[in-house]
Amino acid sequence: MLYSVLSALNVQTVLIGLVVVLVVSKLRQRWKYNMPPGPFCWPLIGSYEVIQAKYLHEIFGKFTQKYGPVFTVSLGPYQMVVLNDINSVTEALVKSKADFANRPSIHSVDVLTEGGKDIAFANYTPTWKLHRKIAGKALRQYLAGNHLEKVLHESMNKCLPLMAKENGAFNPENYIDLMVFNILNAVCFGESVELDDPEFVTFMKMDKDATEMVGKGFVEDMFPIMYKIWTTNKYRTVIKMFDELTSIIKRKFNEHEKTFSSGMSASLIFLYKCSL
């Protein structure tokens, strides 16, 4: 019986010690970096109200009233400072934009961007500035002609007749998605496809599904050890989708590169490569 009591005490001691260490570590981190005020954050879990919130803007509005327009929240091991008014956003993104230009290191983002090899999620480095400059040059070159105007008219002429067939009130979301995705497809690849084209439909569905799942986040990012021992079906599905999307994009680019001539309407991605 004494052994059982000692064993139970040892387990309790270990658990209490672990909790104390985690709490002290969290508090020390906040004091070290002088973080703005915010709701209580549980060790390993973070801000419970944020995790279970259906709409982040609602819970952030509540926090703004309590802690002010700048506050700190945590999602798992990640601490985030939220800017929730025009003055603080202008201060960070306009007046001091270089100081806030880097991106956090999140495993899922690194995987999906091949280590931050893009413009949106890459760190603020000389390489990033060069790529941004090249992309801006390609975009200006594309907009110099009437390519975009033609693309817009062609896409609208395909989508608007479908909307005209509706009777009474209807949700235009699907039609707007069709129109926007068709425009992006034409801008990026230099071709406007039919809205019922099988590859176009598949590409659009995969992109929408992947974007929706990524937007809701991954449990693995809150508990990074899961990447090494077990990944969720959602994470594996998104990775597979992105591999398929990347494969389609690379094939389209290679086909377009082989058939491109100076007399053809340019595509944005080809102009980007020509600007390198």
Does residue 246 fall inside a structural domain?
yes
Local confidence band at 2 (pLDDT 50, 70, 90 cut-offs): very low
Q: pTM (2 decimals)? A: 0.65
Nearest to 176 by CA among 167, 188, 184, 168: 184
Q: Does residue 141 sit in the same domain as residue 203?
A: yes
Query: In this predicted model, what pLDDT tens digit does every residue of 59-111 receive, in sequence order?
Result: 899 999 999 999 998 877 778 899 999 999 999 989 998 888 888 878 888 88
Residue 39: inside a domain: yes
The answer to whether position 132 is within a domain reads: yes
pLDDT tops 90 at residue 174: no
- The two tokens of residue 26 are 């969290």
The answer to whether residues 67 and 131 belong to one domain is no
Query: Does 77 lie in the same domain as 39?
Result: yes
**pLDDT at residue 14 tops 60:** no
* pLDDT band at residue 263 under the 50/70/90 scheme: very low
Asked if residue 12 has pLDDT above 70, the reply is: no
DSSP structure string for the chain: -HHHHHHHHHHHHHHHHHHHHHHHHHHHHHHHHTPPP----BTTTB-HHHHH-S-HHHHHHHHHHHH-SEEEEEETTEEEEEE-SHHHHHIIIIITGGGG------HHHHHHTTTT-SSSSS-SSHHHHHHHHHHHHHHHHHHTSSHHHHHHHHHHHHHHHHHHT--SS--THHHHHHHHHHHHHHHHHS----TT-HHHHHHHHHHHHHHHHHHT--HHHHSTTHHHH---HHHHHHHHHHHHHHHHHHHHHHHHHHH--TTSPP-HHHHHHHH-
CB 26 within 8 A of CB 41: yes
Q: Which domain holds residue 72?
A: 2-103
Phi and psi at residue 41, in whole multiples of 5°? -115, 125
Same domain assignment for residues 96 and 170: no
What are the pLDDT digits (tens) for 119-138? 888 888 888 888 888 888 87
* Among the ranges given (26-40, 153-167, 217-231), the one the predictor scored with the smallest mean pLDDT: 26-40
Report d(CA 176, CA 249) in Å as an integer: 22
Model confidence pLDDT, tens digit, residues 233-258: 988 998 888 888 888 888 877 777 77
Domain presence at residue 145: yes
pLDDT score, position 260: 63
Count of the separate structural domains present in the chain: 2
| Average pLDDT for the chain | 78
Instruction: Flag whether 113 is in a domain.
Output: no
Q: Are residues 87 and 137 in the same domain?
A: no
| 108 domain-assigned | no
Regarding whether 268 and 171 lie in a shared domain, the answer is yes
* Same-domain status, 139 and 82: no
Spatial CA neighbour of 93 closest among 79, 106, 81: 81
**pLDDT number for residue 274:** 52
167, 260: one domain: yes
Give dist(CA 49, CA 42) in Å, integer. 11
Q: pLDDT tens, 183-212? A: 888 887 777 778 888 888 888 888 888 888
Compute φ and ψ for 271, nearest 5 degrees: -65, -35
31 and 168, same domain (yes or no): no
The residue from 68, 103, 138 where one domain ends is: 103
Which pLDDT score is estimated for 26? 54
